[in-house]
């Protein structure tokens, strides 16, 4: 059976290619860890993909800023319908419509049993943690495809309670695989609660999801900073205050909004390709956001860091940054007794509660992040427009099941 998929074709390029239909075994291919080749996946299911999203994390690879090999099938944000179940699957059934956490976990190891599913010990032979279609994550095939294999299905998938209701809200529910839980994790890590003042660095989809999460958690003021006027306008569209960091460091602009240059909670939704502030905004400076957050977060506050940082960046600005070593003002964070919460979001910690909030009309995450449906064949255009700074979250619709 045909299985069209989106593949990394070298720096700045993606292409739609014909790939093998999934089987209940992990086969060799671009990015697959040799120790995983031949791994049986009788505990898995095969999905017909309903929605699979383009993520900023994918863009890091497509820009050539990781060690991802050419030919890697992309995509870790997956929502789909179960069409085949493996021999050992007990509870998930054909016809179920499900959300798939981007981080693959086994449900059996110590970390999974502690709900630390972003650092599962059994799915990646190289290090804790795994994801679909991502560099150095074990080689599980990506989900920007017509069909995808999901391992440990009884544990991993989140079943929507009603198919018809799910399809009515599918664009919102499609955000449960990554960016909504990831943004929420950033807000929780930053200690957002009722009455909090919050600064979110970055108005891309994860930053907008973090801002939405901060509102859901009861923040009194949510300020979003970015260089992109369209993305800042998107943040304002659902009630956020905004600052343009190309005009200078955030502290002065935050003081104009709040009467004080500090906030209770800081969230980094930018990651390792950060640029400088003010006159340096055209220059990459990977520690800018982290140092800026330490500056504007009050003593005793917390920093949630869902923005991606990597251990290998061949396009970095210096040799230290190529291995993830950044010039942090850690002494500042120490002197202010900051808490830093980093790492992959453990999606399963949040996705069920956020699903219920969506189904109960308590939040409109798709609208807030500018969700825009395109065909799988249009993926190269979506990647290009997203890379140019479009204030949109592109959702691929491989089978025309979403429409609009």
Give pLDDT tens digits for 81-136. Answer: 999 999 999 999 999 999 999 999 999 999 999 999 999 999 999 999 999 999 88
Give the residue-averaged pLDDT of 195-204: 97
Cα distance between residue 93 and residue 163, in whole Å = 13
Shared domain for 138 and 219, answered yes or no, is no
Shared domain for 277 and 144, answered yes or no, is no
Percent of the chain's residues with pLDDT above 70: 99
Shared domain for 63 and 139, answered yes or no, is yes
pLDDT-based confidence at residue 2 (cuts at 50, 70, 90): confident
Position 67 in a domain: yes
Shared domain for 286 and 371, answered yes or no, is no
Give the residue-averaged pLDDT of 277-298: 88
Position 183 in a domain: yes
Give the residue-averaged pLDDT of 188-210: 98
Position 62 in a domain: yes
Predicted pLDDT at 280 = 74
Out of 324, 341, 358, pick the residue that ends a domain.
341
Is the pLDDT higher at 124 or at 278? 124
Out of 341, 359, 385, pick the residue that ends a domain.
341
Shared domain for 328 and 383, answered yes or no, is no
Q: Which single residue is written with the structure tokens 């009455």?
A: 195
pLDDT-based confidence at residue 301 (cuts at 50, 70, 90): very high
Cα distance between residue 54 and residue 174, in whole Å = 11
Predicted pLDDT at 278 = 77
Predicted pLDDT at 274 = 84
- The domain tally of the chain equals 2
Token representation of residue 95: 């016809």
pLDDT-based confidence at residue 373 (cuts at 50, 70, 90): very high
Shared domain for 99 and 46, answered yes or no, is yes
Shared domain for 384 and 242, answered yes or no, is no
Shared domain for 270 and 166, answered yes or no, is no
Q: What angle do CA 54, 98, 178 make, to 5 degrees?
A: 35
Give the residue-averaged pLDDT of 41-57: 97
Predicted pLDDT at 359 = 98
Predicted pLDDT at 17 = 97
Q: Which of 184, 187, 209, 185 is nearest to 196 (CA)?
A: 187
Give the residue-averaged pLDDT of 268-285: 83
Shared domain for 138 and 188, answered yes or no, is no
What is the per-residue pLDDT across 216-231, written as a single tens digit (0 to 9) for each?
999 999 999 999 999 9
- The alpha-carbon radius of gyration of the chain (Å, integer) is 20
Q: What average pLDDT is seen over the chain?
A: 95
pLDDT of 404 higher than 60: no
Predicted pLDDT at 302 = 98
HSE-CB of 105 using CA atoms within 13 angstroms: 28
pLDDT-based confidence at residue 315 (cuts at 50, 70, 90): confident
Burial class (CB in 10 A: 0-12, 13-18, 19+), 247: middle
Predicted pLDDT at 200 = 98
pLDDT-based confidence at residue 157 (cuts at 50, 70, 90): very high
What distance, in Å, lies between the first and last C-alpha atoms of the chain? 27
Predicted pLDDT at 322 = 87
**Residue 368 belongs to domain spanning:** 3-178+346-396
Q: Which single residue is written with the structure tokens 């909030």?
A: 357
Predicted pLDDT at 284 = 81
Q: Which of 168, 167, 178, 170 is nearest to 132 (CA)?
A: 178
What is the per-residue pLDDT across 318-339, written as a single tens digit (0 to 9) for each?
898 888 888 999 999 999 999 9
Which residues have CB under 8 Å from 259's CB, separation 6+?
none
> Nearest 5°: phi and psi at 385?
-70, -35
Shared domain for 59 and 197, answered yes or no, is no
Out of 341, 357, 381, pick the residue that ends a domain.
341
pLDDT of 210 higher than 60: yes
Shared domain for 236 and 378, answered yes or no, is no
Shared domain for 229 and 266, answered yes or no, is yes
Is the pLDDT higher at 54 or at 314? 54
């Amino acid at each position: 059976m045909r299985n069209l998929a989106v593949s990394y074709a070298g720096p700045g390029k993606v292409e739609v290619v014909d790939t093998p239909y999934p089987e209940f075994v992990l086969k060799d291919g671009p990015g697959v860890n040799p120790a995983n080749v031949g791994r049986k996946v009788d505990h898995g299911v095969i999905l017909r993909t309903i929605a699979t999203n383009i993520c900023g994390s994918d863009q890091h690879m497509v820009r050539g800023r990781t060690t991802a090999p050419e030919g890697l099938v992309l995509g870790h944000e997956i929502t789909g319908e179960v069409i085949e179940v493996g021999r050992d699957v007990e509870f998930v059934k054909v016809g179920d419509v499900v959300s798939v956490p981007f981080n693959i976990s086994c449900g059996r190891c110590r970390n999974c049993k502690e709900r630390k599913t972003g650092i599962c010990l059994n799915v990646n032979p190289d290090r804790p943690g795994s994801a679909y279609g991502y560099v150095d994550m074990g080689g599980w095939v990506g989900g920007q495809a017509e069909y995808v294999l999901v391992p440990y299905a009884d544990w991993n998938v989140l079943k929507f309670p009603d198919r018809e209701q799910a399809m009515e809200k599918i664009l919102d529910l499609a955000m449960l695989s990554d960016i909504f839980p990831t943004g929420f994790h950033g807000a929780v890590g930053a200690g957002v609660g009722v009455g909090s003042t919050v600064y979110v660095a970055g108005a891309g989809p994860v930053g907008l999801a973090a801002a939405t999460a901060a509102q859901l958690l009861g923040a009194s003021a949510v300020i979003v900073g970015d260089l992109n006027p369209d993305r800042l306008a998107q943040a304002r569209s659902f009630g956020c205050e905004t600052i343009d960091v190309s005009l200078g460091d955030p502290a002065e602009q935050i003081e104009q909004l709040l009467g004080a240059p500090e906030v209770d909670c800081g969230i980094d939704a930018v990651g390792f390709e950060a640029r400088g502030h003010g006159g340096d905004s055209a220059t990459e400076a990977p520690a800018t956001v982290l140092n800026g957050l330490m500056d504007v977060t009050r003593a005793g506050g917390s920093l949630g860091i869902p923005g991606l940082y990597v251990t290998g960046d061949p396009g970095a600005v210096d040799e230290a940054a190529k291995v993830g070593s950044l010039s942090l003002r850690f002494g500042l964070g120490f002197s202010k007794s900051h808490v830093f919460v980093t790492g992959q979001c453990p999606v399963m910690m949040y996705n069920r509660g956020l699903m219920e909030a969506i189904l109960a009309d308590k939040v409109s995450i798709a609208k807030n992040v500018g969700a825009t449906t395109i065909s799988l064949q249009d993926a190269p255009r979506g990647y290009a427009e997203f890379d140019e700074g479009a204030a949109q979250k592109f959702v691929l619709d491989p089978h025309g099941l979403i429409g609009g």
